[in-house]
Structure 1
């Protein structure tokens, strides 16, 4: 992705990513409106900042992400909100390097899990947010936090090229 495109996408996606992270931590649900907002960023801004062919390929990436996500939802129990948000994120990775993307996904998943568990272990944090659903769930992780990180850190890395 061109650095200019990443810089233009970043403010919009950052706001949505913070929203998704907050809602997933507090309710363990990703709002459909957030998914639609991220899709709208690609749909509305994308044609002006991306090469036309790459913008169109983004929809193909979204379709692939949806199919893979739907299968993981059925087979592995991945959350439907996570699948929808990953589908809306997919177009932004149309020009991404596969090795870097896999590294980023791994780092954000491990980092998100570690940060969530660390925050959960700090009494001041849980006392400040006692009603957060993610603190109550023993075996579940709010992956919206990780997905948001993947998108933001990817756009930041592209903007710095």
Structure 2
């Protein structure tokens, strides 16, 4: 994995409660709250300064369209938020994903290294399959009685993707602590 293990260790204690909250509220209300997305972004902005101090690390060259830039890792990761937010807005306008999902993906993008993108896709796929089947199983068994008024039980084919997205970010950071560079 490309993510530094030390950065993942700094981020995880702050990100994990937000991930639990996002998964819970998305199952309960079928919405990802803006304050949770904002909290995730603030975690990167603040803790990222400690985990990836821009003043002490190397500046990495990279391309931003036709322009070549040299920026610290902290700022490159911050740019991920902007790029993913633009993509999310387009996908939301096309009806492919919800606005909360798009905003959460944008905030979470800062925590994901580009070199780990294929691994993140594998984690996302595995988490999606596990979350989908666990949710559907709970929906059609007596487990549903634990939280009978959750909106996600009665939304037909709609699925609370916050459960998957938050779970994927948490798993990625956990694996980053174990296998990170």
Fold similarity call, TM over 0.5: yes
Distance 1:129 1:96 in 2: 39
2:171 maps to 153
1:27 maps to 29
SS in 2 for 1:97: helix
1:70 maps to 89
Map 1:36-47; keep pairs closer than 5 Å.
Answer: 36-47=38-49
Distance 1:157 1:87 in 2: 20
List runs of 5+ in structure 1 lacking aligned partners: none
2:121 maps to 102
TM-score for the superposition, normalised by structure 1: 0.94
Once the two structures are overlaid, the 10-residue window that deviates more, 35-44 or 59-68, is 59-68
More strand by share: 2
* RMSD between aligned residues: 1.2
TM-score for the superposition, normalised by structure 2: 0.84
List runs of 5+ in structure 2 lacking aligned partners: 55-71
> CA offset at residue 94 of structure 1?
2.7
Picking from 109, 115, 135, the partner of 1:90 is 109
Number of residue-to-residue matches in the alignment: 160
Find out whether 1:121 has 2:140 as its counterpart: yes
Q: Is the 8 A contact 1:113 1:141 kept in 2?
A: yes
